[in-house]
Structure 1
Amino acid sequence: MAMLASFWILLVLMNVSMGDGQSVQMDTVKSGFVGSTVELRCLFINSKPPVKISQVTWQKFYNGTKQNVAIANPALGVSVLEAFKERVSFKYPAVRQSALEDTTIVFSSLRLSDEAAYICEYTTFPAGNRENMVNLTVYARPVTQMTLTSPTIVAHHHRTKVATCLSANGKPPSEIKWETQLDGESTLQESRNANGTVTVHSDYMVVPSRKTHGQKLTCIVTYRTERITDSVVLNVLYEPEVKIKGFDGNWFLNRQSVKLTCDADANPPVTLYQWKLLNGSLPRNVEIRNNTLLFKDPVTHELGGTYVCDATNSVGTRSGLVEVNVTEHPIQSTTGHEKTPEPNPNPAIWGAVGGVCLLLGGAALLFFFLRRRQRTFKGDYSTKKHVFGNGYSKAGGLPAHPPMPKNLQYPDDSDDEKKPSQIAAPGGFDGVERDFDGNSEDLKRPYFTVDEGESHDYDERTLAFQYDPESEINDDMVSQTDGSVISKKEWYV
């Protein structure tokens, strides 16, 4: 029994010591912008049985030192130190009636100097002190501004600063970027201020010209999650750019109502136009109307020449010119409309074309000559007369082959030269089938031979042989080894 009683006493003591303890609940971090309001929460979790709260003290912990901000005491009431009196207060009025379980304070009109760690400390009896801490961060929203270096920029040939983008007194620092179609470059500088803020400065540089005039330039400032943009349009002053319009290349004699216009692009606009004709004076009856030359009379040769227009603005003077040519007659296109004359091709091109044509013509003539030569007589240009022929001499043409026999029969007991006993040709020369005697003297007569590839070049008249009716050789003829005969007069020459 004594042991059981001792166990219960120990259990009661453990229950008392293990009862719910005291704690202070706060946020870990809080933040706010300069000039805004922020709450710093502080709750006391009491024990069971509860302990007595003697006092609550708020302190600022900065650079290792503590500074009192506000105090709440059940007997003395609420007190806020002078440095925070205008900007710090307890959230719940019940604190003044000693209800100290929730001692949340409210910071208004935050300053950068308010950034620190804040401690909420509870003094209790008999448990002692309980405390917790919150870190307060103060942000500073930057002041952004974009400005032109000058309201007007004069065009020149070197790179210059045309605009500035500024993000001043920000915390944390901003990021600056440029957005534009201009071909330029930017610079970036950061400077830290004494109060902990940062100023970011960026310049944009470009070569000012006629092309940059009227271009949009945008600065983009990114601050934390915010995106701030500002834009300007460049105003660049430049000299006139001059072109003369009106000459279409088809000014012909007696043409009516022609004119020339001086078209100038300038900033600021052109204030003075001046016309002149090189190497002479302007034609008679010409009227000048600001930037236009009006020719009242029909076109004459007097109107030809080089016309110059000088355009002037506050930046400078620039000129444009046009060469006017006058033709005798209007130039017509293939559709019947007047056409602007085209310049003649380079004479060197025509010379090259002519040379090619000559080469092609020479090649064609050479080919034709060689072709004709292949078709010319290829026989023996001698004075011999062949018995088996039609009496062709040196300049005579060649007869074609007679039809070749289909069947050749030779006597078995003949020692002489084999002679065809019969030549059967379908139709022969005249289309009639004939029999030839193998012993005929005509078959022994020699004849010309012609290349087979040329036989088709002879007509029917060539194929119609006229055989010499002479059957015997005359006395004044001499036989040759090739079967031909020549005159004795020629033989002895």
Structure 2
Amino acid sequence: MTMAVPTTLWIYLMAVYISGSNCQMVQMDATKSGYVGSQVELRCLFMNIPGVKISQVTWQKFLNGSKQNVAIVNPTMGVSVLNPFKERVTFKLQAVQEKTPSLEDTTIVFSNLQLSDEAAYICEYTTFPAGNRENMVNLTVFARPEIQMIQSAPTIVAQSSSLKVSVATCLAANGKPPGVITWETTLKGEERTEEIPHSNGTVTVRSDYFVIPSREMHKQKLTCIVTYNNDTTKDTIILNVQYNPVVKIEGFDGNWYLNRQDKLGLTCTTEANPPVTHFEWRLLNGSMPAGVEIRNNTLSFKGPVTNDLTGTYVCEATNSIGTRSGQVEVNVTEKPLPQGVSGETIGIVGGVVAAGLIAGVAVVVFLVYRRQQKTRTERDNELTDLPPAHKLVPPLRRNTDFKGHLTSDDIQVFHPDKEVEEMREVDLHPPYYDMASSFSDKLDSDPKDHDVQYAELDTSVLASSPCPRSSILSGDLVEYATIQPSL
């Protein structure tokens, strides 16, 4: 009896210690994830301490508030994996299944993951004397989408209307989470995308690409890009667009002249999808000339050239989509064009000549402009170099106190004929004369401020002047006077 108390006290203290350190005893990852069909490990480690005995380990699936046993390990009973996990769940370590098992590591391995495996999983240890200890891991299961790209219709026909049609469909089926679809192409089109959810949690994404079909789209690439969890998958198709024939007639060089002896002919070239199956030749407003041989898309003329070959030749080409035609106007001349000269060559030469004329006119305009600029500059320089006596003297400051009337003594008349010789020595443009010099004596003798004013006089006023007037310039006589204030 004396030994029972210490033993009971020891068990109680051990239980209290283990209860306080429960979160450290069972160690697991907080979250794990895997893809459908892949394999994933769910780690469970028991941090044992001396005196604690493991009597059983139980794995449980916890979903929507209920628990379902997955696997059980008992040192006496051995290992048991329950349905529906029996074929897909195993313990990682072989030591767990031995007669004397080691249960500190009871990690399990899920193989061939399924969407239904997504849940929380509990690893529970039954111990003595600590009781039950457990931890939990959340398992997420991803589903990679099944990517498929198909041509929406077996036949895409170019059309003249503005109606848009779907030319390709890209699917990212049964993805969890859903994939993201984008398009890569040089085509001018429109994408329309929708998401279709499923009961198992997956989503199918469908994207259709719409265009207005045209001949230019034939053999163009259209690429669907699916992005899923930072992974990118591409799928490309090449469009097969069917269209009417595009017809062109070749062979006429613009130099068919009378009695030309070499073999001549016309060829009907086409671009079509599907290929042209039938050609038909005809001559507008007439029948084919004699000696013409027709073979599918070629028209051959036998014998020398005559005026009978003149006319408009039409080639009709037909495929399963429709019929289209092309034509060429054949003209026969009396004499051949100069050797090596054709309509195309004449056009090129004409273009070069026109360009040369334009360039020549531009150069002439530029030179004339420069010449005018130079003449103007030289004329300005000549005026700048004139003697001071022939430069226009700016008016002096006006004396606002000046008041009075003009008398005959106040007017000094300038007669150009008295200064002819002096003015001829200087080329004036236009002639100037210093009219301020007449006041120089008075201004020097009297420091008072005087005004000098200029006026253009009517010559009729001075008609009675005794001094004869003459002008060295042609045209009307313009006379200037200096108006002096009374002193």
Instruction: Name the residue aligned to 2:136.
Output: 133
Instruction: State the SS of the aligned residue for 1:103.
Output: coil
1:41 aligns with 2:43: yes
Q: Aligned partners of 1:296, 1:159: CA distance in 2, in Å?
A: 50
Q: Distance in 2 between matches of 1:327 and 1:109?
A: 86
3-state SS of paired residue (2:84): helix
Find the residue that maps to 1:211 and give its secondary structure. Answer: helix
1:189 to 184, 188, 194: 194
Q: Find the aligned partners of 2:176 and 2:135 in 1 and give their Cα distance.
A: 27
Are the counterparts in 1 of residues 292 and 301 from structure 2 also a CA contact under 8 Å? yes
Q: Pairwise CA RMSD of aligned residues? A: 2.8
Amino acid at match of 1:30: K
1:398 paired residue number: none
Matching of residue 59 in structure 1 with residue 60 in structure 2: yes
> Secondary structure of 1:280's partner?
coil
- Kindly state the Cα deviation for residue 241 of structure 1 after the two structures are TM-superposed: 0.8
Deviation of 1:282 (Å): 1.0
Q: Secondary structure at the match of 2:308?
A: helix
Partner of 1:261: 267
- Give yes or no for the alignment of 1:279 onto 2:285: yes
Q: CA deviation at 1:77?
A: 2.1
Corresponding position of 2:78: 77
Paired letter, 1:41: R
Equivalent residue of 1:98, what SS?
A: coil
Return closer, same or farther for 1:242/1:55 CA change in 2, 3 Å cut-off: same
Identity of aligned residues (%): 64
- TM superposition shift of 1:188: 0.6
Q: Which residue of 1 aligns with 2:183?
A: 178
Q: 1:246 to 1:21 in 2, by over 3 A?
A: same
Query: Paired residue for 1:462?
Result: none
Where is the helix percentage greater, Structure 1 or Structure 2?
A: 2
- The higher radius of gyration belongs to 1
In the superposition, relative to structure 1, how do residues 126 and 296 fare at CA in structure 2: closer, same or farther (>3 Å)? same
Local SS of the residue matching 1:132: strand
Check whether the contact 2:57–2:72 (CA below 8 A) recurs between aligned residues. yes
Matched residue count: 337
Q: 1:50 to 1:450 in 2, by over 3 A?
A: same
What secondary structure does 2:172 align onto? strand
- CA shift digits 1:61-112 (9 cap, x unpaired): 1112211111112222222222211211222232233321111111111110
Match of residue 292, structure 1, among 298, 302, 305:
298
1:417 is aligned to none
Segment drifting more, 75-84 vs 32-41: 75-84
Check if 1:147 corresponds to 2:153.
no
Matches within 5 A, 1:79-94: 79-94=80-95
- For 1:396-475, list aligned pairs within 5 A: none
Deviates more, 1:242-251 or 1:193-202: 242-251
Larger deviation, residues 289-298 vs 140-149: 289-298
| In structure 2, C-alpha distance between the alignment counterparts of 1:93 and 1:234, rounded to whole Å | 58
Give the counterpart letter for 1:170 in structure 2: G
Distance 1:152 1:405 in 2: 105
**Aligned with residue 31 of structure 1, among 30, 33, 38:** 33
TM-score where L is the length of structure 1: 0.64
Provide Cα deviations, 1:165-224, integer angstroms capped at 9, x if missing partner: 111111111011111111111111111111111111111111222111111111111111
When residues 25 and 15 of structure 1 are mapped into structure 2, their CA distance, relative to the original with a 3 A threshold, is closer
Q: What is the identity, as a one-letter code, of the residue corresponding to 1:323?
A: E
Show the counterpart of 1:311: 317
Q: Distance in 2 between matches of 1:452 and 1:288?
A: 91
Gap change, CA 1:18 and 1:304, over 3 Å in 2 = same
Given residue 268 of structure 1, which amino acid in structure 2 is its aligned partner?
P
Cα offset, 1:405, TM superposition: 11
**Distance in 2 of aligned mates of 1:229 and 1:53:** 53
Q: Distance between the aligned counterparts of 2:36 and 2:51, measured in 1? A: 40
Using a 3 Å threshold, how does the CA distance of structure 1 residues 77 and 325 change in structure 2: closer, same or farther? same
Counterpart among 160, 167, 173 of residue 162 in structure 1: 167
Gap change, CA 1:254 and 1:450, over 3 Å in 2: farther
Aligned partner of 1:337 in structure 2 is: 340
Check whether the contact 1:111–1:138 (CA below 8 A) recurs between aligned residues. Answer: yes
State how far apart, in whole Å, the 2-side matches of 1:219 and 1:75 are.
59
Residue 14 and residue 282 in structure 1: after superposition, are their counterparts in 2 closer, same or farther (change >3 A)? same
Note closer, same or farther for the CA distance 1:16–1:276 as it changes in structure 2 (3 Å cut): closer
Query: Where does structure 2 lack aligned partners over 5 or more consecutive residues?
Result: 1-11, 351-419, 423-469, 475-487
2:64 is aligned with what amino acid? N
Contact kept? 2:14, 2:130, Cα under 8 Å: no
The separation in 2 between residues aligned to 1:120 and 1:16, in whole angstroms, is: 20
In the aligned structure 2, how far is the partner of 1:204 from the partner of 1:139?
Answer: 28
Counterpart residue number, 1:358: none
- Residue 109 of structure 2 aligns with an amino acid whose one-letter code is V
**Mapped contact 2:30–2:138 kept (Cα < 8 A):** yes
Give the counterpart of 2:213 among 205, 208, 212: 208
Q: Which residue of 1 aligns with 2:481?
A: none
